[in-house]
Structure 1
Amino acid sequence: MTKSLNREELLFIAQSFDPGDKCSDCQSLNCQGWESIPGGFITNSLECIGTLRIENAPECWEEDHPKGTTIWSKDAPISISFHPYNKSDVYECKHCRSKYLRYTECGGYYVDERIRELRAELIS
């Protein structure tokens, strides 16, 4: 079972690595904001270490953008009670220990795996 993480645990994880020390696999990820996982990226180099999903929680599709950001903004807050963070899992690179958030966007005609770097200074 995947470990549920609260804000303090997420902050601790985010502070436990230097985002400048990426391995050759992770250097191909340029995901300060949410992005689709690049087609050539080897996702099995990432290991799930926790989840922000809360089982049996009411659905929340609202996003948190108090400073006019969007879901794609690199400075958008990481607000774990809001979409898409409340549907995200936390991953760690097996090689360099970089940390990422991942979720699956399921539209009417598509499925899109999305990824974002976990940055401590953006956790609200």
Structure 2
Amino acid sequence: MSKTLQDLSQKMRKIDIAMLSTHTAGGNIAGRPMSNNGEVEYDGTSYYYTYEDTRTVQDIEKDDRVSLAFMGEKGFSVAVEGKAKLMRDKASLEEHWTKGLEQWFKDGVDTPGIVMIQVDATRVHYWDGEDQGEIKL
């Protein structure tokens, strides 16, 4: 039975970490763990915070194609392909800020060098036990 994006969102809430992969300048793929905010209902767009001087930001500036991998319980997995945008304006940072991010960004949205990565999904593939499917956005 095919799942909807809303079905996936409910199961993704239980996943604490997503793996964000980018294309490096040398053509390789680099992955790094990013905090997945379980309080946010997944609608095909994800938001992550990082620092301006990271390789992640450099990679996205050169190639905005990224992927996200989510691994849940009992064989539930989600692979997202999408396009990333770097957001630096304070209004966008504040709009998606959630409690707890202060552990990485002590001055909140006023932390020097903070950047938000917005990933807009183009394709979502999921596996849930023996059920699997794809949602194109």
**TM-score, length of structure 1 as denominator length:** 0.28
Q: Taking CA–CA contacts closer than 8 Å with sequence separation of 6 or more, which of the two structures ends up with the larger relative contact order?
A: 1
More helix by share: 2
Max radius of gyration: which structure?
A: 2
More strand by share: 2
**TM-score, length of structure 2 as denominator length:** 0.26
